[in-house]
Amino acid sequence: MALPHVQAQVLRRYLQSEESMGICPGVSERLTPTGTECTIDGRRWAFGVTSRGGAMILALRGLGLAPHEFGVMHVRLVDRRKSPPVAHSPMRCIVHHGQASLLQLPTVAEMVENGSIINGSLAITLSAYALPSPPKKQSLLSKDFGHILESGDGSDVSFRVGDEDFPAHRLVIQARSPALAAEIPAAPGASIAIGGDIDPKAFGAFLKFLYTEDLPGAEEILGEEYSKESGCQMRESLFHVAERFNHEEMKGILEEQMLAKLDASTAARTLSFAEQHGRQQLQETCCRMVVSKGWLQEVIQSDGWFGHLMPSSNYPTVAKDALLLEASRALKKPRGPVPNAGA
C-alpha cells in the first residue's frame, strides 16, 4: 500500500490542560523526511514523518538540548471525528543531544480508522521537556588505569612532546589508538618524538582519555591559566590531537564541550573552526543556537565575525552564509541581507 503524502498538525487548542507542558503552537506544514521545527517551552524541537519498510515513522530531535540534557517527548494521535477532537493515549520517546529518535506509528489503515488521518492529514499533539542527564560515574577500572598512567609503573614506551615526556604502555596504546600505536617502533623502551605542532597539555589529556575514557575540560587542564580565549584554544588543540590520531569519539566529545561553552563572543570562531574541519553538525547546531538565543546581532558585530567569517579570512563563505540562512528561516522571510552584517 502506497503511503499518502502526510501532513502534520500540532493542535494546541485541543489540549488546553497541557499548556503547562508547552504544547507547540499550531502549525500545518507539508513534511519531508527532514521534518518541521517548532518551539516547546522555550526550546526548539524537530519532527518529521517518513516511511521505513512499509511502516510510518515519526523522527524526533531535540534541537535545543544541551550536551548534558536529554528530552522526554509525548506524542498523541488526535481523533478529529469527534467534537471536540480527542487525543489518544500518549506515546513516549526519549531524545538525546545531537541524535534523532524514531517512533513507529500505527499503520495508515489503523490511523484512518481511529480518526487521526483524515483526507491524508495526520493530526498529532506534541509535548516535551528537558531533564539533566545523570552524571557519568567513573568505573573502578578507569580509575585504576588512570593511576597506572599517572605513576608510570611498568611503562615500556615514552612519548616526547615539546619539552615534556609522557611514559605509557604499549598494550594500552595499541588497544585504544591504532594511529598512535603505529608510530611506536618494535624495540622496547622506545622514546617517540611527537611533532606536528602538538600542544603537550593537549597530548597529556589525550593519553588520559585513552586510559580512562574521561576527557578533562579546558578548565581542568589549564587551571589558573584558564580564560575564555585560552579555553577555546585548548579545545581546538585537543581537537587537533584527536584529528592527528583519528579518534572520532574524542572529536564528538569536544564538539559537545564547544557547544556547552558557546556564546555570542565565541560563535563566529566556532563556526569558522567547524568549517575548516568539515564538522557540519557542529556548524548547523551553532547556527541554530545563535538564532534561537537571539545572539545574531551581537555575533555579527563581534571581533570574531570580522576576524573569522569575513572575506578576508581563509574560510568565510559557507559558515557565514549558513548562519544568515538560518536567521532568515527563523524570521520566515526570504533570504536577504542582515543589517550590519558586512559585505
* CATH number assigned to the domain comprising residue 11: 2.60.40
- Kindly report, residue by residue over 40-84, the tens digit of the pLDDT: 767 788 877 766 666 677 878 888 787 778 888 888 888 888 888
Asked, for residue 166, whether it belongs to a domain, the answer is no
Do 54 and 35 meet the contact criterion of CB atoms below 8 Å apart? no
Residue 36 pLDDT class (50, 70, 90 cuts) = confident
Average the pLDDT over each of 166-175, 188-197, 202-211, 306-315 and give the range with the smallest value. 306-315
Average the pLDDT over each of 78-92, 134-148, 244-258 and give the range with the smallest value. 134-148
pTM of the model: 0.58
Residue 17 pLDDT class (50, 70, 90 cuts) = very low
Asked, for residue 272, whether it belongs to a domain, the answer is yes
Cβ-defined contacts of 208-211 (< 8 Å, 24+)? 208/146, 208/149, 209/250, 210/172, 210/173, 210/176, 210/177, 210/180, 211/142, 211/145, 211/146, 211/148, 211/149, 211/172, 211/176
End position of a domain, from candidates 73, 108, 132: 132
End position of a domain, from candidates 77, 110, 132: 132
Cis peptide before 84 (omega within 30 of 0): yes
Structural domain tally of the chain?
Answer: 2
Asked, for residue 48, whether it belongs to a domain, the answer is yes
Asked, for residue 229, whether it belongs to a domain, the answer is no
Residue 259 pLDDT class (50, 70, 90 cuts) = confident
The confidence score (pLDDT) of residue 31 equals 30
Residue 308 pLDDT class (50, 70, 90 cuts) = low
End position of a domain, from candidates 132, 163, 190: 132
Q: Domain of residue 81: give its range.
A: 7-132
Strand, coil or helix: what is 268? helix
Cell triple for residue 342? Answer: 558586512
The confidence score (pLDDT) of residue 172 equals 93
pLDDT surpassing 60 at residue 20? no
58/311: higher pLDDT = 58
Asked, for residue 95, whether it belongs to a domain, the answer is yes
- State the first-to-last Cα distance of the chain, in angstroms, to the nearest integer: 52
Asked, for residue 15, whether it belongs to a domain, the answer is yes
- Kindly report, residue by residue over 119-139, the tens digit of the pLDDT: 777 788 878 888 877 666 667
Average pLDDT over residues 88-102: 81
The confidence score (pLDDT) of residue 232 equals 92
pLDDT surpassing 90 at residue 221? yes
User: What is the CB neighbour count within 10 angstroms for residue 92?
Assistant: 10
Cell triple for residue 153? Answer: 609503573
Asked, for residue 246, whether it belongs to a domain, the answer is no
Average the pLDDT over each of 36-40, 124-128, 236-240, 254-258 and give the range with the smallest value. 36-40
- Vertex 100: Cα angle to 137 and 109 (nearest 5): 130
In this structure, the dihedral spanned by the alpha carbons of residues 311, 313, 318 and 323, taken in order and rounded to 10 degrees, is -80
Asked, for residue 38, whether it belongs to a domain, the answer is yes
Residue of 101, 96, 100, 103 whose CA lies nearest to 134: 96
